[in-house]
Amino acid sequence: MPEGIRVRAPRSDAAKNRAALLDAARAELNRDPDASLDVIAAAAGLTRRAVYGHFPSREALIAELAEVGAARVAAAVDAMHDPDPVLDLALVGRLVWDDVEHVRAMTRTVVRGPLRDQVLGGALGPLHARIVADVRLAAETGAGRTDLDPEVVARLVEGAAFSVLDESVRTPVGRAEGRRLVILAGLGALGLSWREANDVLGAHAARLTEEAEA
C-alpha cells in the first residue's frame, strides 16, 4: 500500500538498519526480556530516537520479531512430514528445537508472555493443528493415549517442550541433548512409555538426532 508519492527510492541503509534493529532486539531480549529500547537501539548502533523511524512503538518491534520467528519455525516444520503420527511428532520436536535452540530465552518470553496467543494462533496455528492431528491419529492407531481429549494432549505435548525450554535456559543443554529431551518429553506426554520413546529415537536416528549433512 504505497500511500505517499515517493519522488525517490528509499535509501538502502534504511532497510539494513531496520534489520539490524530486529537482530539487536532478538539478541538483547534473549539476554534480558525487559531490555529497554535504549539498549536495543545501542546494540544496533542506533539511537533510541531512530527506532521510532522504523517502528511506531516498542510493542510493534517485538510483535514483528515474534512473527518473523514464528514464520521461520512454521517454514522449517513445513519442510518435512511423515505419515506415522508418532514419528511425525518426534520430527516436529526436532525441527522446532533446531530452529529455536539459539534463541531459547527469547522464545521462552514470547511463549510465556502476552504475545503467546497472537503467535500461537497466528503463524503457528497450523503447527498446533498438525500436533492435534498427530495426537488424534496416534490415538486411533493405538500408539497414543485415548484417556484425554486430543486438544488437551496436544497442549501437554507443547507444554513438555516448553519445560525442556525452561530447563535448557536454567542449565546449559547442548543442541543434541536438547533434541533428545524434547522428543522424549513430547512422546512421554503423548502416552508412550520411556522404552517405546527410545525405540522411536533409535529406529529413526538419522532423521531425529543426527546432524543434517552440511
Partner DNA sequence: CTGATCTTGCACAGGTGTGTGCAACCTAAG
Partner DNA sequence: CTTAGGTTGCACACACCTGTGCAAGATCAG
Question: Is 199 near its own copies (CB under 8 A)?
Answer: no
| 57 vs 141 by CB, closer to DNA | 57
Q: How far is the CB of 149 from its own copies (least distance, A)?
A: 11
Judged by CB under 8 A, the stretch of 59-67, 86-94, 95-103, 180-188 that binds its own copies is 180-188
What are the start-end ranges of the H helices in the chain?
12-31, 37-43, 48-51, 58-78, 85-100, 104-112, 116-120, 125-141, 150-170, 175-190, 194-203, 205-208
Which positions ≥6 away from 109 have C-beta within 8 Å?
29, 33
| 56 vs 172 by CB, closer to DNA | 56
Question: Is 86 near its own copies (CB under 8 A)?
Answer: no
What does the block give as the cell for 145? Answer: 493415549
Q: How far is the CB of 15 from DNA (least distance, A)?
A: 7
| 50 vs 129 by CB, closer to DNA | 50
Q: How far is the CB of 51 from DNA (least distance, A)?
A: 8
**What whole-number distance in Å separates Cα of residue 73 and Cα of residue 204?**
22
Residue 182 main-chain phi, psi, to 5 deg: -60, -45
Q: Give contact residues for its own copies (rule: CB under 8 A).
A: 112, 144-148, 152, 155-156, 159-160, 162-164, 166-167, 181, 184-185, 188-198
